[in-house]
Structure 1
Amino acid sequence: MSHRSVPPHVGVLGGGRMGAGIAHAFLLAGSHVTVVERDRSQADAAAARVRENLSRSIERDATTRALAEFDDALVVATASEAFAECDLVVEAVPEDRALKLEALRGVAASVSPETVIATNTSSISIDDLAAGIPGPDRFLGLHFFNPVPASRLVEVVMGAATGRQLEATARGWVEAIGKTAVVVRDAPGFASSRLGVALGLEAIRMLEEGVASAVDIDAAMELGYRHPVGPLRTTDIIGLDVRLGIAEELHAALGDRFEPPALLRRMVAEGRLGRKSGRGFYEWSE
């Protein structure tokens, strides 16, 4: 397999918005993709998300293939045993250490010793997660960004045990799906989450202190620094619960500068999670 080709068969564990986006990216690039969800209802929902992404790509002329042509390339299942023939499996379950460890152990037990296993974590230590995987030299982070179809970036996170040859291979996979790789070592928050959360938390503190409105704080960064989306709207898109979880990881590792603001904790407790709940710093509707 050349460094710039996609793996022939890719598995994705978790078919939510992120997992469906990862599956879509590899399908467009020519891989066969197996998505595994916890039950048939969730599996059907995952299949619908992937097909919706594919339909949008067809509408945008991002592919010349018809939707029906992807049917044989996509399998959605409810058990990790479906990953048996995969060359790469990407774990994309929610950002919870215990959940990811359990999920990764299940993947490792279902694939060959040569299968590359990746986690889509945005903040949890690759070395910590590698503890549950026999042959940790084939384990690394592939941190995709939401929404995956529109994002151009993937962080390739190299753990202490990750085989050095995987760096070039992973870069090639990222390039083959039309995205750009940045390679970082396993450090708290990697590069993107650490910088993004620092900006996002300060924006929340400013809102909490009444410095300016959410709209004006975001406009300051969009117009003054050419950020395509301001930090508060970005937090809504990512999910306030996700951002809180990452902030708590960074707070534990790096100290008080990443302490989550009381406003963020309160909004999460109230179920104001951003776009996915319909309300965060902004009102959202489909």
Structure 2
Amino acid sequence: MVRDRIERIGVVGAGTMGSGIAQVAATHGYDVVMRDIEREFVDSGFETIDASLGRLESRDAIADDPETIRDRIEGTTLIDDLSDCDLVVEAALEEMDVKKEVFADLERVCDEDVLLATNTSTLSITSIASDLEHPERVIGLHFMNPVPIMEGVEVVVGEKTTDAATELAHDLAEELEKTTWEADDKPGFVTNRILMPWINEGIRAFDEGVATKEDIDAGMELGTNVPMGPLTLADHIGLDVCLHASETLHEELGDRYKPAYLLKRKVEAGDLGKKTDKGFYEYE
């Protein structure tokens, strides 16, 4: 069984996704504990939240003032500070060993009826939960980036995830004013299983001289009504993130998911997109 009442939410990881999840939860009135392994990462997460709340306030897009929302979030480096949370969302590095270690720690400190969710975009929910005593309360809650702006949340059901856990995950996302869809625990789920080959094919088309990067993006935006073309979107996601997701899918599903050569070359050069001010495009 999992709790049917959520008041306090824990978030593991204060990076782009973790800080975004913490911000959205606090914006909707939840008390939040945001934990990362170093204080500098926690502080950086708060800086991201402050900047995001400032932009939203300037557009009259939040009901409460930023300070009120910010005060609902507690930062910590201690996993034990998550012990009184009703639900915890893990948003740590996209590496299986890291996630398994986090969930082992969460199982140690959290009560048996606390829902444990992972924000993974490609890794198996069943594998993440496989070493736990209570894998039935582990579920995927895959928020889209940027979390405060994007409407969708992908709910991913592991082999042993209960119906009660699945229902609670959908309910929480809807409380956060998100729209959910549900996926079985197959590689890449719905979003990245389809998105990563699309991005890689856009990169290949550019590398093979089919068109300029601007025209590839324009062709996809104007021809298919998507808000961003594949090269722009890759820069926004992070080319390293795209490469890691593609490599995971390639390992699981074969050559149709092989990462584009130019994607690997860009990552090796350290041009990761917006976060380094240069990817397929340059940013100030």
TM-score, L = length of structure 1: 0.95
Deviation at 1:6, TM superposition (A): 7.7
The 10-residue stretch of structure 1 (154-163 or 71-80) with the greater mean CA deviation from structure 2:
71-80
Once residues 70 and 250 of structure 1 are traced to their aligned partners in structure 2, the CA distance between those partners, rounded to angstroms, is 38
The 10-residue stretch of structure 1 (51-60 or 103-112) with the greater mean CA deviation from structure 2:
51-60
> Are positions 1:148 and 2:108 aligned together?
no
Code of the aligned partner of 1:167: T
Code of the aligned partner of 1:257: R
Match of 1:18 in 2: 17
Q: Is the 8 A contact 1:6 1:177 kept in 2?
A: no
Q: Is the 8 A contact 1:35 1:76 kept in 2?
A: yes
Mapping of 1:53-202 within 5 angstroms?
A: 53-202=52-201
Structure 2 residue matching 1:246: 3-state secondary structure: helix
Structure 1 residue matching 2:61: 3-state secondary structure: coil
Once residues 252 and 102 of structure 1 are traced to their aligned partners in structure 2, the CA distance between those partners, rounded to angstroms, is 22
Q: Is the 8 A contact 1:141 1:156 kept in 2?
A: yes
Match of 1:249 in 2: 248
Code of the aligned partner of 2:278: R
Match of 1:223 in 2: 222
Code of the aligned partner of 2:252: A
Once residues 152 and 20 of structure 2 are traced to their aligned partners in structure 1, the CA distance between those partners, rounded to angstroms, is 13
Deviation at 1:71, TM superposition (A): 4.5
Once residues 125 and 89 of structure 2 are traced to their aligned partners in structure 1, the CA distance between those partners, rounded to angstroms, is 13
Unmatched 5+ stretches in structure 1: none
Once residues 19 and 71 of structure 1 are traced to their aligned partners in structure 2, the CA distance between those partners, rounded to angstroms, is 14
Deviation at 1:62, TM superposition (A): 2.5
Percent sequence identity over aligned pairs: 39
Q: Is the 8 A contact 2:151 2:179 kept in 1?
A: yes
Match of 2:35 in 1: 36
TM-align CA RMSD: 1.5
Change (3 A) 1:80 1:203: same
Structure 2 residue matching 1:93: 3-state secondary structure: coil
Once residues 6 and 54 of structure 2 are traced to their aligned partners in structure 1, the CA distance between those partners, rounded to angstroms, is 23
TM-score, L = length of structure 2: 0.95
Deviation at 1:163, TM superposition (A): 0.6
Q: Deviations over 1:36-61 (max 9, x none)?
A: 01112221111222222223332222
Code of the aligned partner of 1:10: I
Deviation at 1:188, TM superposition (A): 0.7
Once residues 196 and 11 of structure 1 are traced to their aligned partners in structure 2, the CA distance between those partners, rounded to angstroms, is 29
Code of the aligned partner of 1:137: E
Unmatched 5+ stretches in structure 2: none
Once residues 66 and 83 of structure 1 are traced to their aligned partners in structure 2, the CA distance between those partners, rounded to angstroms, is 26
